[in-house]
Structure formats: structure tokens, C-alpha cells
Amino acid sequence: MSKEVKTITIEIPAEDWKYLEWEAEKFKTTPEGMAAKMIKLYLPRPEGKHMTQKEALESLRQLTKDLPPVDTVKLVRESREQLEQRGIF
């Protein structure tokens, strides 16, 4: 992985900057660091270059971080009951 760094300047609305600051705080980084992290996570990769397992897990974690927890035992139990009611199980 290249350690070469490029610098860009972007203008974003004040409301978006507040959101970027809020997200950066959660990750204990700067808004600029958060923007760099978001670019790395969300921009499509060129064909032929695949994510590492660690990158894929981090990407999945980012996508699911705001979802409520799931009680898998309850979910399986309810699914089984529905199948039994339909006479499938």
C-alpha cells in the first residue's frame, strides 16, 4: 500500500461539517481524518483490487453500526414456529 499523500480542499455546507465533526468525535479523529476514512471505505475500488478481510469486516461494521441488535435465538424460534404452522417443519 502506497504511503504517498495528496491534499485536496473541498467546500461543504456548515450542516455537513457539523455532522462530520460529530462522526469524527465518535472515532476519536479529526474531521479531515474522518473524511479520508470515509473516502477509503466508500469509494469503489478499481477492478482487480479486492478488499482485505480486515477492510471488508470494517466496511460491514460501518454499514451495520446504526442497526438495532438482533436476538437471533428469538428470530430462529419464531421462524421455526411459522414453518410448523405452515406444516413445512
Which DSSP string corresponds to 4-66? ----------HHHHHHHHHHHHHTTS-HHHHHHHHHHHHSPPPTT----HHHHHHHHHHHHTT
Q: Is the pLDDT of residue 1 over 60?
A: no
Q: What would the pLDDT profile of 9-41 be if each residue is shown by its tens digit?
A: 989 999 999 999 998 998 889 999 999 888 888
Rounded CA-CA distance 39/14 in Å is 19
Given this model, what pLDDT does residue 89 score? 63
Sequence spans of domains, the chain: 14-85
